[in-house]
Amino acid sequence: MASKLDVETKLAAARTRLILDKPFLGALVLRLPLKEASPAWCRSVATDARHFYYNRGYVDKLSVEQTQFVLAHEALHCALSHFARRGHRVQRRWDLACDFAINPLLVRDGLRPPPEAVVLDLYEGMTAEEIYPCLDDSLDNETLDQHIYDGDEGGQGEQRGGGAQGRQQDGGRGGSAPEEPRGGSRGSGGEDADEGEPAPQPLSAREREDLERQWEQYVAAAANRAQQAGRLSGVMARLVEDRLQPQLPWRSLLAQYFFQNARSDYNYMRPSRREGEMILPSLRSSQCELVIALDTSGSIGEEDLALFVAEINAIKGTLPVRTTLLACDAELASGAPWTFEPWEAFDPPGRLAGGGGTSFRPVFEWMDREHMRPDVLLYFTDAMGDFPDDPPAFPVLWLVKGKAPVPWGRRIQLN
């Protein structure tokens, strides 16, 4: 049987090393008080975004370096608000996506994972939302830990269910806890099943919101402390930037530009005398000009285009938007541009030619020749191409698939 004192000493030593060697992660880990969990529901380690739960038998088998990894792993789930971002996604796939997003970050930061931690270079640098659609329901991997902030597959913690018994019972895979055994069964490492903390209940919607705000503050404070000490690694600095400066959904940004430029207002100018002596306000409305450029170099699939078209049509249905469509790989597609009036549906040609290299210059050169100054240019791309040297005199929103940067304009990550 694992000595309780030895396990607690190992956890304390691992936390101390994180604080000294990696102060950013160490500060986050300190936000999760340690609680020994009943092995009846906790097979390894777990978090409810409030505590770090551990199976004594599991931690006893880890080295101090591996214990550092699992502590930081749980802290990053909380720091990245994985407990609040699942939405309507399938819980097990979401839990795997979160693990696949975190593990490469910790390995790159110099931490040593335990053997059961799955580290896939394929997903390095990707968010859980980007990884999720890449996963198949038949994937038989298991998460390193258990994410016990969630309810069952269909819930988001709205109902305060019965802890471990209220979750999907799949043998402990994917963050869901197995049913607590009855009687005198024994858990991992030979401990009595009734030892340790019982499984906490899932978070309510209000608790998720409160904890998300708290963890944002914790991340900011930890990053500031690590920066002052000169000990914030590049990997964690990028994580902090993404966490504290999230991008708005592109459709929200686009709507902002349109509402600013397509306001309907009343005109109180004196009318003609033939209209009488009474001065009544007349409604004046301006029309927005939107240019959409599609990168057709092979990075944009049909499903992406269909979703994109649906979003543009939704915006056109609420605002007077005249849309000009351009398609370009290394040169403009034959037949471009295509123009759609506000009352027309945004319906691109069935098949857009392309598949070659990528250059963004032809789009901006064509607009310059035509003296076009739209309210906004929306460019749908992977940002892997040749950019013009200087930005134009109108707003440009880059909807980017992948991780490539842009030299100017506003970059929006398209998940």
The single-letter DSSP state of residue 137 is: T
Across residues 60-65, what is the average pLDDT?
95
The mean predicted confidence, pLDDT, of the chain is 79
| Cα–Cα distance measured from residue 167 to residue 371, given in angstroms and rounded to the nearest whole number | 60
- The model's confidence at residue 249, banded by pLDDT at 50, 70 and 90, is low
Backbone angles phi, psi at 332, to 5 degrees: -65, 145
111 and 66 co-located in one domain: yes
323 and 370 co-located in one domain: yes
233 and 254 co-located in one domain: no
Nearest to 37 by CA among 58, 16, 67: 58
Helices (H), 51-90: 56-60, 64-79
Q: Give the 3-state secondary structure of 313-371.
A: HHHHCCCCEEEEEEEECCCECCCCCEEECCCCCCCCCCCCCCCCCCECHHHHHHHHHCC
274 and 220 co-located in one domain: no
240 and 307 co-located in one domain: no
278 and 328 co-located in one domain: yes
Distance from chain centroid for Cα 50: 21
Task: Among 244, 259, 291, give the residue marking a domain's end.
Answer: 244
Query: Would you state the structure tokens that stand for residue 389, as one six-digit string?
Result: 């040297």
142 and 256 co-located in one domain: no
Q: In the chain, how many domains are there?
A: 2
227 and 300 co-located in one domain: no
Across residues 113-130, what is the average pLDDT?
88
Tell me the per-residue pLDDT of 368-393, one tens digit each, with 9 for 90 and over.
Answer: 999 999 888 989 888 888 999 999 99
Task: Among 180, 211, 244, give the residue marking a domain's end.
Answer: 244
44 and 170 co-located in one domain: yes
The single-letter DSSP state of residue 264 is: E
Q: Is 412 left (phi over 0), alpha (psi -120 to 50) or beta?
A: beta
CATH code of 364's domain: 3.40.50
Q: Which amino acid is at 291?
A: V
Domain ranges, residue 314: 250-413
- Report the pLDDT value the prediction gives residue 123, as an integer from 0 to 100: 85
- The model's confidence at residue 165, banded by pLDDT at 50, 70 and 90, is very low
229 and 295 co-located in one domain: no
Backbone angles phi, psi at 283, to 5 degrees: -80, 130
237 and 255 co-located in one domain: no
- Report the pLDDT value the prediction gives residue 169, as an integer from 0 to 100: 36
- The model's confidence at residue 26, banded by pLDDT at 50, 70 and 90, is very high
151 and 289 co-located in one domain: no
Residues paired with residue 67 on neighbouring β-strands, in sequence order: none
Is 14 a residue whose pLDDT tops 50?
yes
| Cα–Cα distance measured from residue 130 to residue 132, given in angstroms and rounded to the nearest whole number | 6
Task: Among 244, 277, 294, give the residue marking a domain's end.
Answer: 244
